[in-house]
Amino acid sequence: MNRIDRLTAMILRLQAHRHVTALEFSEHFEISERTVFRDIKALGEAGIPIGFEKDKGYYIVDGYYVPPIMFSKEEAGAILLAGKLLERQGDKSLVDQYDQALTKVRAVLKTSSQDYLHELDKHIEIIPSSRSLNSVEDKFLMDIKNAVVSKRVLKFEYFANYSGTYSERTVEPLGICHYSNHWHLIAHCQMRDAVRDFRTDRITKLITLDEEFDPSIREDFKDHIFELTPAQELEEVKLLFTTQVARYLSDQKYYYGMIEECNTDEGIEMTFMVGEMEYFARWLLMYTSSVRVLESDRLKRLMQELTESLAEQYLVKENF
């Protein structure tokens, strides 16, 4: 990135954040902090009113706004692709807001870029997988996000799937995260006096209370997320699928950790990075003799144990 582009990007970053430290600039643009200081000075000399607060960083003085920035056709195309993916992920509560944002992006494009985006839109289709769609609308996701930012207490009715019952909860929203194809609210539950995880599509009758809370006295919601997704060691596995079966794996192979595949005279060789080996082995059982383990002694042993167990259960013993 040349200096002119970097200075422009620095202005945009200052416009988008309340404060930006020299270290953040340095790491983002991969430049030294001394270069950051020179760039900030250059921006000031160019008439950009940049202030500085100790322990917080640089900021653009209130009242100053950068003139509208034109998007390139490539940038607009990337935004369009992101919207297509968003629609297929089933985050219905966000789609309307995204469409409005994209309309504003289209409005500031040059005519040639608008034509490019229109033509690109006609030639994009995202094929959903059975595991990526969530047909249930998160009615209150926007309200939850606003409460997280404003530090306001929420009160809602919650459906517990395991018991099939509804309960009323009053919580202090600490953050939201997306995993297992659903949005989750991580909040301090006043009834349980502990941090709890609530799937947002199971929340009903939500209201935002006037009561505020101090999140600094609560557990960091990210600590809770790390507990949900513990680090695990991955083991490399190489398999050989018959060509006939390989064509039907579709996106399953990516779900189970495939990182590489190649055609051979014997079939399709695939390399996987596997964490839960027994779970992976049970998946392979459905392909019977159409798959062979090439590399992974551990997986070979597991497959042998599972097939022997099946044989013992279903083998018909003759009575003499």
Q: What is the per-residue pLDDT for 152?
A: 95
Does residue 216 share a domain with residue 154? Answer: yes
Mean pLDDT over 267-291 rounds to 91
Number of domains in the chain: 4
Q: Which two tokens stand for residue 248?
A: 């039907």
Q: What is the per-residue pLDDT for 109?
A: 73
- Dihedral angle sign, alpha carbons of residues 195, 200, 201, 206: positive
Does residue 244 share a domain with residue 213? Answer: no
For residue 48, what is the domain's CATH number?
A: 1.10.10.10
For residue 265, what is the domain's CATH number?
A: 3.30.70.240
Model confidence band, residue 288 (pLDDT cutoffs 50, 70, 90)? very high
Does residue 259 share a domain with residue 242? Answer: yes
For residue 266, the enclosing domain spans 235-314
Q: How many CB atoms lie within 10 A of CB 36?
A: 22
Q: What is the per-residue pLDDT for 156?
A: 96
Q: Which two tokens stand for residue 122?
A: 């006609």
137 is a domain residue: no
For residue 202, what is the domain's CATH number?
A: 2.30.30.530
Does residue 215 share a domain with residue 239? Answer: no
- Mean pLDDT (the chain) is 82
Q: Which two tokens stand for residue 89?
A: 């992920």
Q: Which two tokens stand for residue 135?
A: 């047909």
Per the DSSP assignment, residues forming a β-bridge with 315 are none
296 is a domain residue: yes
Does residue 155 share a domain with residue 218? Answer: yes
Mean pLDDT over 198-209 rounds to 91
136 is a domain residue: no
Question: CB of 80 within 8 A of CB of 117?
Answer: yes
The residues, any chain, with a CB within 8 Å of residue 48's CB and separated by 6 or more, are 11, 60, 64
Does residue 221 share a domain with residue 155? Answer: yes
**CA-CA distance, 172 to 188, in Å (whole number)?**
5
130 is a domain residue: no
Tell whether the model's pLDDT for residue 251 goes beyond 70.
no
299 is a domain residue: yes
Choose the final residue of a domain: 228, 244, 275.
228
254 is a domain residue: yes
Model confidence band, residue 37 (pLDDT cutoffs 50, 70, 90)? very high
Tell whether the model's pLDDT for residue 18 goes beyond 90.
no
Q: In this predicted model, what pLDDT tens digit does every residue of 231-245 receive, in sequence order?
A: 556 789 999 999 999
Q: In this predicted model, what pLDDT tens digit does every residue of 256-269 receive, in sequence order?
A: 888 888 999 999 99
